[in-house]
Structure 1
Amino acid sequence: MERDEKLRPATSYTSTSLHEAVKLRRDEKDTIGVQSVPEFFREACQKYAQLPALVWEQSAEQQDWITLSYADYEKRVEQAALMMLHVGLEERSSLAVLAFNCPEWFFAELGALRAGGVVAGIYPSNSAEACYHALVTSDATVCVVDDDKQMAKLRAIKHRLPRLKAVIQLHGPYESFVNQEPDYFSWQQLTQTLETLDTDQLQQELERRERGIYANDCAMLIFTSGTVGMPKAVMLTHDSVVYDTKIVSATMENTVLGAERLVSYLPLSHIAAQIFDIFVAMSHGGCVYFADKDALKGTLVRSFLKAKPTRMFGVPRVFEKFQERLVAAEAKAKPYSRLLLSKAREVVAQHQLAIIAGEKVSLYAQAKYWLATLIVRPIRQMLGLELCKSFLTGGAPVSPELKQFFLGLDMPLADVYGMSETGGAITLNESITNLYSSGAPILGTEVKIDKPDVNGQGEILMRGRNNFMGYLGEPAKTEEAITPDGWLHSGDVGYLDTHGNVVISGRLKELIITAGGENIPPVHIEELIKHELPCVSNALLVGDHRKYLTVLLALKTKSDASTGLPLDQLREETIEWLNELGLQQTLLSELLNIPADLQLPSDANALAAALEINAEPKLLEALEAGIKRANKNAISKAQCVQKFALLPHEFTLATGELGPTLKIRRNIVHTKYGPLIDRLYK
């Protein structure tokens, strides 16, 4: 029921146009007011004016950190809004941002929204052609790019973008055409130009545009991963973003206004980073620290040590990287220290499991737990996470082993489930009651299971005020995604337990349907294999329309901190596992008997190496034994893996098997290693 005056007239709950508003799905119990993003931002800045809002490092060499208050944050956003008007951002057109997380990302986004625009993030890892698709789809009239590398992509495609009026580069080095040729600017130069202009007319235009912003207008475009076809642009209203922010903020426990800190490092092109980094942070008067570009390549801990975050959100792969680092460090410790740490982790994990189960903990158990935390606390301090109150994870399945590992470090991982199309989270399991589910739906979100099977499993559907408007320019796909009565098809398979918790078992699109018609969720089987084989970094199940299942395995190796490329050196835990087999190799190429230069960087080289692998017999026997052990836990004979093949390197962003949010791009792996897969079925 639309009760607020600040809503644009609308006739439908869905739209695929930037120029149409939508009805909001509300009822009489819904007490959360309607706000546009600029209204929400202004309210936060006025409420927390003197508190620190943003902190970033201006110079890594001098370790020169800059802190911006909320009052100054508001001024910077207004300056960015005037800048957008100056270079030609049109109403109801998009500002595209092709950059790593930085303060200017926030300024540009919030400024464009004040100027009546729409924000569209583009992953920096995108090719020039993928950038072109995003710019055309989003109807971008201005694009902000990170550096000269991203500017080169725009330079190559701009002649095909007649609507694109300006490209603004944030950071140097700059090519000679920037600030010299029309339509190419540096952020710094534009800032200086604005200071010399009479901005009265721009200010009047900004005020006019702000009066025309409605909460049920489109505010943001989030591009889907595009694993099948080109990415779709998910349209989110101002209300969807603000509503989900307020619900998530209210769901989070033990928040202290003005005292929350977090580190922005996951791509802002993704809905999770948008909600947590930009909006949830400001709802608490929190302070956001910016990590550097190499955060996911190994420098994230440096940012944590500076920020001492009170909240952390990470995709499972981030926590896996932490685990690998800690296991490697532990392997170098003295035997007595390793034994002591192992016992302490066991005590801490038992205490956490008792709390999760709602058991009453005795004074003796509490004392043991307190003593054990004295031993594990230095590990949290080493990561810069000693003050962190919640560790949130989502975006991909989390293995039980990973959850158990971090329980032992007094860092229970709380599941968050959501998607771009829901405007962010629909569950936030911070009050952990079990380790198998994503928790109950947050306030205002309905969840049901579509066409459940005999075990109650089916596609997860959700409905709520935060659901998206539609896919921009794609009415048919929008109609497929949202039912006439507002239920969104998630594409995820799962069930609701007896307590109403959402339990996810896989993706519809990832389901393997064998030649015998058996439906098989691959993630469960992959996790079983990785549990039995701690040397394996990646396991990818294959078997769609095939007679039996096979799996591709990549062993754990080190990676280059600067490029993110996998190296030939095996990780310590892999070497330790091999030593138990009587194998002494420390290089993957030696273990697999392939030339080291065949591994990287091209797909052709990787495939050639994979086809030439002639691994040590003891290794092959141990891998086969591990798969057989995993098969014993399979639900049915059809879910048993019959054959496997080794790959010449881990899955990484740099080599293309992982997407920007570190999910495996299964179709990419299938294509890359097609001939190797075919060989498994001969």
Structure 2
Amino acid sequence: MSTPKTIGFFTSQLTGEVILRENKNGEGNQAPLTIHELVLGTATRYPDLIALGTRNVDGWETITYIEYYELCRKAAKSFLKLGLERFHGVGILGYNCTRWFVADIASIFAGGISVGIFPNNSSQACRFIAENSEANIFMVENDWQLQKILKVQDHLRHLKAIVQYKDKLTKKLPNTYTWEEFLTLGVTISDEMLDKVIDSQKPNQCCMLVYTMGTTGPPKAVMLSHDNITWTSAAVLQSLPYTYPPENQEVLVSYLPLCLINAQIFEIWIPVTIGASIFFAEPDAMKIQGSLINTLLEVRPTTFCGVPEVWEELMQRMRSDQMSAASFKRNLIVWARKMGLKAYKNRESDCGKAIAGSHNLVRNTDQEDIGEFYLWGRHLSMGYLNNEYKTKKAFDQKGWLHTGDLGTLDNEGFIHIIGRIEEVIITNQGEKIFPVPMENMLKENIPIIHHAIIVGNQAKFLSVLLTLKCEISSDTGEPHNMLTQEVINFCRKNNSKSVKVTDITNNQDPIIDAIIQKGIDAINEQPEHENHKILKWKVLEKDFSIMGGELGRPRRCDGRTSPESIK
């Protein structure tokens, strides 16, 4: 790779270095740290505190912070032995566990780039990420994940080894290892050799890639520096009620997909920053109802980061418990439900303040003070890998990120987001409409809907294209005709016999048609939508996908003009 070069506040090259957006004084000017400095510091301060806990048949198996750190060093040596090159990717494909965490940190210790991959990604999606990140090594959870990589490995010219970190290999293959075999590989790598690699790392260099979902264009690799992670973790903590040992050790549960940066911040890096204990939920935590709640009841975390689906399940569980609870317990549950609902509504409001030590502005405002949000701070990424055009389009020369989000900034510093610049619909009367909140409400009102795209540029009224939640090919990501079990259960609950998408399209299922119309009517009846109602809708025969071209590059309905099929 080429020699690292500092070009300003952003870069599109993995070897690039960036200027940190440090404030001259006050918040945001903390000394930069590398990942190794962060992990070593915690292992030194809290060597004997529990770092990670995994459920097994005999109970919970735990490791301390000093054991965690030493295991990361051991794995880093094995990465070096396998030939991991500086700034080359290590793809991690599987569900949350101790070995996922260790692979993540060890890949950075060894000078590589950590690349978390969504566990349900297809072989082709994994291939794209591997080629884009020039991955030298893949860490896969089991044989199911291994087979995805084996299908495309002939196309991966940078790939040197695959490690299956759970279960035994069903067949021994060249350059393929179990976790136990992997850990023994680095015995010939000295501490001095590893420390030389660690000492060469800088806070303003890239150590991680996070891939966007690709819903409005090709998936982009967001480059994150050491400082992006270490500084952001510390900055977020300033607005959270977390405590530090020895006063108290926080206990947290890991269950969110670690390919998401918010999951990594809250489940890997914030816990390391404060010396918290992390306990792992079962891999089916987000699939099997009650699985995550059972883990929460057993672990009893001191704090919990939840997504909407989880809060909804908790509310449902509390409702059912309330029916059979004693008087005191029933009152307690009612109070918890009210508090939970309040927190959930606040989370759903698309409203918040800038992170401590960062700055935001609203530029190019209209007569209603709606404008585009600009952000500045050390939490902003380095840029998009190998995409200089998108990087320069997103960042200006002073380091401000032009988010493309539209909204207002109130007197208390709260940001209120109402949509995206490219999503705005202009009616034939010249009225501006922000469709995203309406689309989100549609999906909330009609739970069988996967995608809702409102169209109506230069039209007299709005129309909406709908796709249903259906089964997806694990190999290609191609949507099938069969509805998901969740949708089938919903249909049965409402006396519909539909099991396929084509049972519902073209108005073939009057029961589901009535449910969809009721959900649309609920939006049309709201006062703010009096002048822009949804008058037509259509359920498409196929869900959106990268293979179909609707995802992974600009939408076919770009511009939000009503297509001929719905006029």
* Same fold (TM > 0.5): yes
Equivalent residue, structure 2, for 1:21:
17
Cα distance in 1 for residues equivalent to 2:446 and 2:487: 18
Q: Which has the higher contact order (CA 8 A, sep 6+)?
A: 2
Alignment pair present for 1:247 and 2:235? yes
Write the letter of the residue equivalent to 1:475.
E
Q: 1:321 to 1:17 in 2, by over 3 A?
A: same
Query: Please, what TM-score do these two structures have when normalized by structure 1?
Result: 0.71
Q: 1:323 to 1:90 in 2, by over 3 A?
A: same
Checking the alignment, whether the CA contact within 8 Å between 1:518 and 1:638 is kept in structure 2 is no
Cα distance in 2 for residues equivalent to 1:549 and 1:492: 22
Q: 1:372 to 1:150 in 2, by over 3 A?
A: closer
Shift of 1:628: 3.7
Cα distance in 1 for residues equivalent to 2:100 and 2:417: 33
Equivalent residue, structure 1, for 2:334:
376
Residue pairs, 1:293-442, within 5 angstroms? 293-298=283-288, 299-324=291-316, 329=320, 333=323, 373-376=331-334, 407-409=338-340, 412-413=343-344, 436=349, 438-442=351-355
Write the letter of the residue equivalent to 2:454.
V
Checking the alignment, whether the CA contact within 8 Å between 1:97 and 1:121 is kept in structure 2 is yes
Write the letter of the residue equivalent to 2:222.
V
Q: Equivalent pairs: percent with the same residue?
A: 28
Cα distance in 2 for residues equivalent to 1:66 and 1:657: 42
Instruction: Output one character per residue of 1:301-354: Cα deviation in whole Å (capped at 9) or x when no partner.
Output: 122122211222233233234445555x37x948xx8xx99xxxxxxxxxxxxx
Alignment pair present for 1:50 and 2:40? no
Shift of 1:191: 2.2
Q: Which runs of 5+ in 1 are unaligned?
A: 1-7, 342-369, 381-405, 417-434, 558-562, 572-584, 600-605, 649-654, 660-664
Pick the aligned partner of 2:273 from 279, 283, 308.
283
Equivalent residue, structure 1, for 2:485:
566
Partner SS for 1:172: coil
Equivalent residue, structure 2, for 1:145:
140
Alignment pair present for 1:491 and 2:404? yes
Equivalent residue, structure 2, for 1:478:
391
Checking the alignment, whether the CA contact within 8 Å between 2:249 and 2:276 is kept in structure 1 is yes
Q: 1:39 to 1:678 in 2, by over 3 A?
A: same
Q: 1:158 to 1:633 in 2, by over 3 A?
A: same
Equivalent residue, structure 2, for 1:576:
none
Instruction: Output one character per residue of 1:395-442: Cα deviation in whole Å (capped at 9) or x when no partner.
Output: xxxxxxxxxxx54447724867xxxxxxxxxxxxxxxxxx84633212
Cα distance in 1 for residues equivalent to 2:523 and 2:51: 49
Equivalent residue, structure 1, for 2:473:
none
Shift of 1:276: 0.8
Pick the aligned partner of 2:508 from 601, 608, 613.
613
Equivalent residue, structure 2, for 1:100:
95
Partner SS for 1:297: coil
Instruction: Output one character per residue of 1:206-246: Cα deviation in whole Å (capped at 9) or x when no partner.
Output: 01111111111111111111113321111111111111011
Write the letter of the residue equivalent to 2:46.
Y
Q: 1:21 to 1:678 in 2, by over 3 A?
A: closer
Equivalent residue, structure 2, for 1:643:
536
Checking the alignment, whether the CA contact within 8 Å between 1:550 and 1:680 is kept in structure 2 is no
Cα distance in 1 for residues equivalent to 2:199 and 2:554: 49
Q: 1:515 to 1:132 in 2, by over 3 A?
A: farther
Write the letter of the residue equivalent to 2:304.
M
Q: 1:658 to 1:256 in 2, by over 3 A?
A: farther
Checking the alignment, whether the CA contact within 8 Å between 1:102 and 1:290 is kept in structure 2 is yes
Instruction: Output one character per residue of 1:501-557: Cα deviation in whole Å (capped at 9) or x when no partner.
Output: 1111123344445566543222432455578x5877768242154733234678999
Query: Please, what TM-score do these two structures have when normalized by structure 2?
Result: 0.84
Cα distance in 1 for residues equivalent to 2:389 and 2:109: 31
Alignment pair present for 1:260 and 2:257? no
Write the letter of the residue equivalent to 1:26.
E
Alignment pair present for 1:506 and 2:419? yes
Q: 1:163 to 1:308 in 2, by over 3 A?
A: same
Checking the alignment, whether the CA contact within 8 Å between 1:613 and 1:646 is kept in structure 2 is no
Write the letter of the residue equivalent to 1:267.
P
Equivalent residue, structure 2, for 1:399:
none
Cα distance in 1 for residues equivalent to 2:235 and 2:295: 28
Q: Which runs of 5+ in 2 are unaligned?
A: 471-481
Q: 1:479 to 1:681 in 2, by over 3 A?
A: same
Pick the aligned partner of 1:123 from 118, 125, 128.
118
Cα distance in 2 for residues equivalent to 1:226 and 1:466: 22
Cα distance in 1 for residues equivalent to 2:153 and 2:534: 49
Checking the alignment, whether the CA contact within 8 Å between 1:373 and 1:410 is kept in structure 2 is no
Write the letter of the residue equivalent to 1:540.
A
Cα distance in 1 for residues equivalent to 2:146 and 2:448: 38
Equivalent residue, structure 1, for 2:434:
521
Write the letter of the residue equivalent to 1:12.
G
Equivalent residue, structure 2, for 1:651:
none
Cα distance in 1 for residues equivalent to 2:345 and 2:31: 28
Pick the aligned partner of 1:542 from 454, 472, 483.
454
Q: 1:272 to 1:611 in 2, by over 3 A?
A: same
Partner SS for 2:51: strand
